[in-house]
Amino acid sequence: TRLAWNAIVAVDGLQRLLWRTRPYEREKGATEALFDEFLKRIAWRVRRKEPFYDVLRQATTAFKSLIDPHLPPRPLVGINGEIFLRSNRFSNRDLVKECEAAGLEVIVSPVGEWMKYTAHRNLEDAVKDRNFRKMVSSYLKKLIQERDEHKVSGYYHELLNGREPSTAAILAKSDMYLSPRCGSEAVLSIGSGVEWMESPVFAGVISVMPHGCMPGGIVAAMAEKFSATYQKPWISLTYDGFLETNNAARISNFAELLKFCHQEAGTT
């Protein structure tokens, strides 16, 4: 439903507030406590089918107040990959906090990214099949999705810079490497990753995948090429449900490299 989509975008934004604030919080633990509070408030409004836009505005102000402006900026890293794995803290062994503990700031591709992609593909399929009825309904659905996303995201703009890229923009980035119709998260991971690599704001990319995941394997196979092209590190981490000491070491090495480059850039 439309309410569910708005809630997904809202929680995606709330998570970005968490990731933007926690590395720079004045008091350890305050950001997570605030996140839990506002997550409950949004969920309560959604269950009652009530508007929650005022809660989003309050959340932005509250998170902003927790940031210590005297702390130096950290290297910013984008995390993408298999949708469930990147979004589930248990499955990825709390990758975001592990990166933060290593001295990084992160952004994770949102859950809504996949839903926008399916809507985009649905419209493409309707055009290909010349199904006019499906074409109209798919276009309207996509239009409403984009308008609602723009509206909800606007309440976070005071702290979060920029909007999430559109599906078309992501696919345009991945098109020269992989067909946008391949129907997996590989096109999204490549597209969002290239978008980050091209941005001077981002220092590197981490892609995650379950053991044996074919779309993740495609991204991992191309990561070295992207690193060489953009002169920034792009690593792939594999998770198989067991204790991953190798991933911890790779994250640590990745972070040390980025911090060194960040310091070098600051002295030139």
For the segment 100-152, what is each residue's pLDDT rounded down to a tens digit? Answer: 999 999 999 999 999 999 999 999 999 999 999 999 999 999 999 999 999 99
Q: 76 with 140, same domain?
A: no
Q: 92 with 32, same domain?
A: no
Domain holding 240, by residue range, is 72-110+164-268
From 92, 125, 160, the end of a domain falls on: 160
Domains in the chain, number? 2
Long-range residue pairs from 10-15, CB within 8 A, at least 24 positions apart, any chain = 10/42, 10/52, 10/56, 10/152, 11/39, 11/42, 11/111, 12/110, 12/111, 12/112, 12/164, 13/56, 13/152, 13/153, 13/155, 13/156, 13/160, 14/38, 14/39, 14/42, 14/56, 14/59, 15/108, 15/110
Residue 26, judged by CB atoms within 10 A of its CB (0-12, 13-18, 19+), counts as middle
Asked if pLDDT for residue 263 goes beyond 90, the answer is no
**pTM of structure:** 0.93
From 102, 134, 160, the end of a domain falls on: 160
- Residues 6-38 pLDDT 10s: 999 999 999 999 999 999 999 999 999 999 999
pLDDT for 227 equals: 95
